[in-house]
Amino acid sequence: MTLNEALPLAVLASSLLPGLVIFLLPDAWTGKRTALNLLGAFTKLVLIVILLVGVHGGADYDFHYAVLPGLDLVFKVDALGLLFMSLSAILWLLTTLYAIGYLEESPQRSRFFGFFSLCVTATMGIAMAGNLFTFFIFYELLTLSTFPLVVHRGTDKAMNGGTVYLVYTLTGGALLLIGIIWLHQLLGHSDFAHAGIMADLEATGAISGGQLKMIFLLLITGVGVKAAIVPLHGWLPQAMVAPAPVSALLHAVAVVKAGAFGIIRIVYEIYGIEFAQSLELLLPLAVVAAVTIIWGSLKAFFQDDLKKRLAFSTISQVSYIVLGVALFGPLGTIGGLVHLVHQGIMKITLFFCAGNYAETLGIHKVSEMNGVGRRMPLTTLAFTIAALGMMGAPFTAGAISKIWLIEGARAADMDWAIWVLWTSSLLNAAYFLPIVWRSVFFRAPLAWPAEHLSRYGWRETAWLLLLPPLVTAAATLVTGIFVTSAFSPLAWAQFIAQQEYGPLVP
Amino acid sequence: MMIDLAVWLILLPLIWASLAFMAGPGRGARLAIPALGLQLLLVLLLAGTVSESGAIGLAVGGWGAPLGIDLAADGLSVAMLLLTQVIALPLAIYARSYFQVKAPEGRYFWPLCGFLLAGLNGLYLSADLFNLYVTLELVGLAAVALVAADGGSRQLVAALRYLFATLLGSGSYLLAVALIYAAYGTVSMATLAPVITAEAPFVVWLAGGLMLVGLMIKTALFPFHFWLPPAHGGASAPVSALLSALVVKASFYLLLRLWLGPFAGLTASAGLLGWLPATLGALAIFWGSCQAIRAQRIKMLIAYSTVAQLGYLFLIFPLLTSEAALRAGIMQAFAHGLAKAAMFMAAGVLIKATGQDRVDSLAGAAQQLPLTMFAFGLAGVTLTGLPPSAGFLAKWLLIEAAIGQGAWSIAVVVLVGGLLAAGYVFRVLRQGFLLVPAIAADAPSFHPVPRTLEWMALLLAAASALLGLRGVELMELVALGGAA
């Protein structure tokens, strides 16, 4: 095994092995568990930096392993996978820190962090999968490792949320599986490749376009459940019963992103963007994405529960990525890809902040947030930055995504998509600005719903809870302002689009 | 050398079973565990030889087919032998500490278990129809006795019902053997294979039908499953594991062997015949899963799950014209064998710890017995067919074979069956994950349980999952003359 084959495995091992050891540690061993967690997270970051430099220089990282005769487990690190991996690795580190602060003294911490590590391992596997078979293995592993996290609190309500989550994701998984096997049966393999693997197949005339459309529908429905595309989104608001770090992970990094990432892989590297366009698959996908964007925003507007409002906001925002993918042309692709990262950074900030409000003052509802900005100024600052980013305000990451998406829509002659994006921005403002307004300008109540943590000097809450949202809020600004630097998400998205469309990309 | 390997696989369990009977209750384990280790070694050696030099046949004592007893080992039989020994060894270690705590129930476990294993090994190695009958009967009677050995009235009723079913099954098989002997004057499978053709007289078709029905009864295929849930759900945990994981596989193996071997001429000419077991299999999957979802007692839940999982084995029959279907069947036999043994063993731990066997009484189990719940969950992943697990590979192979032959109905049954399985597995997990305040007065109390029990369950569950990452060797083994 060469070093280039071993690196993808090392990326998996850097969270899998600590995870397995953590399962066996007694709950009271906080120090050892934390050390293992952080060791894994930092090792993974280092490995990913090595891979980033390597892939930028044109190196290949390939690992093949036969599971059955004719059926291979394949890991491949490419630019697109790395985009997702870098995002996950960085946010995993921050979420781990946050979770350590959040779960202090609560029971079953070893189980929690064990599954937490498995969950990140599954995400890495999804990002590095070199064919649909491998993708599916980790996609289902993600379902299995997130279920114990969703039901972590062990209450009846948590169980019901978890059950709904399972029903949706397992059914989606079954549809995905049959699509994959069908494809595998026709082609003899299901490898991801630039410009897709289907065009040759149709050229032979052996398979009708109808069959290929059917497979596309099965695959997209399968991954669409996790991406929470309307009408497959029902599990997401229910899964809000999970502890805040889990919601953060689910919404920004792991589950919905795995779904969106799957859509990207299927459209670009199974069907190929041009072939998908010739089969007339992209327009329906764009329409579904547009409906989801508007529907999610509208529903968010009517939620009083803060986490539920954020959940519907996620449904809307993730479909920006899908819309970008479905806009035929490099500009839309770049917009979609870059939003994969930007949405992650902004949404995790919002969930961290929501968790802070709940843990510190017992605030769960928007209507309870009057004047909270004066009690928790730093958290509210971070929340405000991320919320402005979601609206697409200048100097934030969200603005960059939105500019490229709008340009992409214009280039693809789909002016209606521009209207969808503007409407969504307005709705975003309509449900985020009142929160900010309330927390800054309204008078604070005499007593908070349940004040768990009291103020200590300048620190409005535990520092492990405070640090992660501040970092991600800063990142929202940095990625919005320094867009032209060599390793910014935008530059990397352009690098990926160049590989897909050739040298035409701006 | 070859001869010795195969013969010793039958003799060894007979020897330690007899010695265990003489040594008296509680002492059998000391003989059984090292002997089972040796058996495992023998099977591995046999697998090595078979994969090097192909299928082997041998005449015991140097007497040829018409007079003496022929043994044969090909890829298919070695795979089944391997499955048997791989499960038996951890199960014996488990049973040793299980029965230590509760001695009187395990009095006859070791001798009966030995006879059962001798019967199984003999069945997989036999090359003629009559020997197959003898071993089948030995397996059936030992299994009934194991169920009855628990001594409770519920177990006795279940054992009697089981006895009735198993005798009916083997009786109809024996009748068929007699008909075949009358028609052809031989019972050797190798001799019969070329002479039984589509033009065979009616009596041969009748014999084939009797064998099919008899073996379906013994495999508890829907609607002949009535005897299985009380027998498997009522016996003590190690016995349930043995019966569910291994015993029902023996009659399935025999049916498969006859279908592809001596009766290949008949089954090939009647193309639609394969849909009979497949339809019943599909009904078994739905009926068994729905009963499992509704079951109140945890062991009944697992027993009904066996009814459902056996259904998958019969889905392969219409597809057997392609090699992939056979591979799917063997992978499913392995997946279910390993996972179901693990699941019954985990259930045994839970019942011992809580003193109850109701699904409702499991609240808080994930906190108190994390290893066991993890083993149960892992085994459940295999049964549900989620990756990475042997059950997933079985499902993949089966769906691929089905789509390849345009049998979409089978693909749909497999997928829906997986979702139903998730229904009953997560019903248990959900209960286990429920958090119960430790100081509450009505919180269930958990008795301490030997760690060996937990680890053995986890070992088999992990094996069922890890096989999902490396199935190449097993599939190559099955490909070696499996259809001979």
Domain spans in chain B, listed from the N-terminal domain onward: 276-484
Bridge partners (DSSP) listed for residue A79: none
Q: Which residues of B6-39 are buried (b: 16+ CB within 10 A; e: fewer)?
A: bbbbbebbbebbebbbebebbebbebbbebbebb
Rounded-to-integer distance, Cα B232 and Cα B242, Å: 9
**Chain A residues closer than 8 Å to B475 by CB:** 68-69
**Closest residue of B to A71, CA-based?**
B472
Q: Which residues of A468-485 are buried (b: 16+ CB within 10 A; e: fewer)?
A: bbbbbbebbbebbbebee
The mean pLDDT of B118-135, rounded to a whole number, is 94
**Closest residue of B to A186, CA-based?**
B404
Which amino acid is present at A117? S
**Chain A residues closer than 8 Å to B388 by CB:** 137, 141
Q: Which residue of B374, B387, B396 is in closest CB contact with A181? A: B396
| Burial of B465 per CB tally in 10 Å (0-12, 13-18, 19+) | buried
Q: What's the gap in Å between the CA of B433 and the closest CA on chain A?
A: 6
Q: Report pLDDT for B57.
A: 78
Distances B55 to A30, A90, B48, B72 between C-alpha atoms, Å: 57, 55, 11, 8
CB of A59 within 8 A of CB of A76? no
Interfacial B residues in 460-479 facing A (CB < 8 Å): 468-472, 475-476
Q: Report pLDDT for B483.
A: 41
Rounded-to-integer distance, Cα A440 and Cα A438, Å: 6
Distances A243 to A249, A306, A308, A347, A356 between C-alpha atoms, Å: 10, 14, 13, 15, 11
Mark yes or no for CB contact B386/A173 under 8 Å.
Answer: yes
Mark yes or no for CB contact B472/A66 under 8 Å.
Answer: yes
3-state secondary structure at position B447:
coil
Mark yes or no for CB contact B419/A137 under 8 Å.
Answer: no
CB of A157 within 8 A of CB of A243? no
Whether residue B397 lies within 8 A of chain A, CB to CB, comes out as yes
Mark yes or no for CB contact A67/B469 under 8 Å.
Answer: yes
Q: Which residues of A56-73 are buried (b: 16+ CB within 10 A; e: fewer)?
A: eeeeebebeeebbeebbb
Rounded-to-integer distance, Cα A299 and Cα B404, Å: 44
Mark yes or no for CB contact A68/B387 under 8 Å.
Answer: no
CB of B95 within 8 A of CB of B106? yes
Question: Which range has the worst mean pLDDT, A306-315, B60-69, B278-287?
Answer: B60-69
pLDDT tens-digit profile, chain A (506 residues): 788 888 999 999 999 999 999 988 888 888 888 999 999 999 999 999 999 999 888 888 989 999 998 899 999 999 899 999 999 999 999 999 999 888 877 778 888 899 999 999 999 999 999 999 999 999 999 999 999 888 888 888 888 889 999 999 999 999 999 999 999 988 888 888 887 887 777 666 667 778 889 999 999 999 999 999 988 998 988 888 888 888 888 777 889 999 999 999 999 999 888 888 888 899 999 999 999 999 999 999 999 999 999 999 999 999 999 999 998 888 998 999 999 999 999 999 999 999 999 888 888 898 888 888 888 999 999 999 999 999 988 889 999 999 999 999 998 888 899 999 999 999 999 999 999 999 988 888 888 888 877 777 677 888 888 899 999 999 999 988 888 887 788 988 988 888 777 655 55
Whether residue B330 lies within 8 A of chain A, CB to CB, comes out as no
CB of A337 within 8 A of CB of A401? no
Question: Which pLDDT band holds residue B394 (cuts at 50, 70, 90)?
Answer: very high
pLDDT of residue B484 exceeding 50, the answer is no
Rounded-to-integer distance, Cα A183 and Cα A124, Å: 24
**Which of B403, B410, B451, B474 should one mutate to test binding to chain A, selecting the residue with the greatest count of A CBs within 10 A?**
B403
Rounded-to-integer distance, Cα B444 and Cα B425, Å: 21
Mark yes or no for CB contact B470/A67 under 8 Å.
Answer: yes
Q: What's the gap in Å between the CA of A413 and the closest CA on chain B?
A: 40
Residue bearing tokens 């699904």: B359
What is the enclosing helix (H) or strand (E) of B73? Answer: strand B70-73
| Burial of B104 per CB tally in 10 Å (0-12, 13-18, 19+) | exposed
Q: Which residue of A66, A159, A184 is in closest CB contact with B430? A: A159
Rounded-to-integer distance, Cα B71 and Cα B68, Å: 10
**Which of A20, A68, A142, A207 should one mutate to test binding to chain B, selecting the residue with the greatest count of B CBs within 10 A?**
A68
Whether residue B198 lies within 8 A of chain A, CB to CB, comes out as no
CB of B407 within 8 A of CB of A181? no
Is 0.90 surpassed by the pTM of this model?
A: yes
| Burial of A308 per CB tally in 10 Å (0-12, 13-18, 19+) | buried
Mark yes or no for CB contact A144/B393 under 8 Å.
Answer: no
CB of B65 within 8 A of CB of B191? yes
Q: Report pLDDT for B102.
A: 52
Mark yes or no for CB contact A166/B404 under 8 Å.
Answer: no
Rounded-to-integer distance, Cα B11 and Cα B84, Å: 15
Q: Report pLDDT for B63.
A: 66
Whether residue B388 lies within 8 A of chain A, CB to CB, comes out as yes
Mark yes or no for CB contact B475/A159 under 8 Å.
Answer: no
> Of B250, B51, B337, B256, whose CA–CA distance to B43 is shortest?
B51
Q: Predicted ipTM? A: 0.92
**Closest residue of A to B470, CA-based?**
A67
Rounded-to-integer distance, Cα A115 and Cα A97, Å: 15
Structure tokens belonging to residue A260: 């969106």
Mark yes or no for CB contact A111/B370 under 8 Å.
Answer: yes
**Chain B residues closer than 8 Å to A118 by CB:** none
| Burial of A89 per CB tally in 10 Å (0-12, 13-18, 19+) | buried
CA pseudo-torsion sign A221, A226, A227, A228: positive
How many other CB atoms sit within 10 Å of the CB of residue B327? 26
Question: Which pLDDT band holds residue B285 (cuts at 50, 70, 90)?
Answer: very high
pLDDT of residue B345 exceeding 70, the answer is yes
Q: Which residue of B374, B387, B399 is in closest CB contact with A141? A: B387
Structure tokens belonging to residue A240: 């809000």
Question: Which pLDDT band holds residue B300 (cuts at 50, 70, 90)?
Answer: very high
CB of A350 within 8 A of CB of A310? yes
The mean pLDDT of B330-355, rounded to a whole number, is 94
Q: Which residue of A23, A67, A170 is in closest CB contact with B393? A: A67
Q: Which residue of A68, A151, A159 is in closest CB contact with B475? A: A68
**Closest residue of B to A148, CA-based?**
B433
Q: Report pLDDT for B482.
A: 45
pLDDT of residue B441 exceeding 70, the answer is no
Q: What's the gap in Å between the CA of A119 and the closest CA on chain B?
A: 14
Chain A residues with CB within 8 Å of chain B CB: 23, 66-69, 71, 73, 107-108, 111, 136-137, 140-141, 143-144, 148, 151, 153-156, 159, 162-163, 166, 170-171, 173-174, 177-178, 181-182, 184-185
Angle at B376 between CA B372 and CA B379, to 5 degrees: 135
Q: Report pLDDT for B448.
A: 85
> Of B226, B224, B228, whose CA–CA distance to B255 is shortest?
B224
Q: Report pLDDT for A31.
A: 86
* Interface size, chain A vs chain B, as Cβ–Cβ contacts under 8 Å: 81
Structure tokens belonging to residue B47: 């697998």
Residue count (chain A): 506
Mark yes or no for CB contact A181/B399 under 8 Å.
Answer: yes
**Chain A residues closer than 8 Å to B400 by CB:** 181, 184-185
**Which of B326, B371, B374, B396 should one mutate to test binding to chain A, selecting the residue with the greatest count of A CBs within 10 A?**
B396
Question: Which range has the worst mean pLDDT, A58-72, A174-188, B134-148, B426-440?
Answer: B426-440
CB of B44 within 8 A of CB of B473? no
Question: Which pLDDT band holds residue B460 (cuts at 50, 70, 90)?
Answer: very high
CB of A300 within 8 A of CB of A359? no
**Chain B residues closer than 8 Å to A170 by CB:** 386, 418-419, 422
Q: Mean of the per-residue pLDDT values for chain B?
A: 89
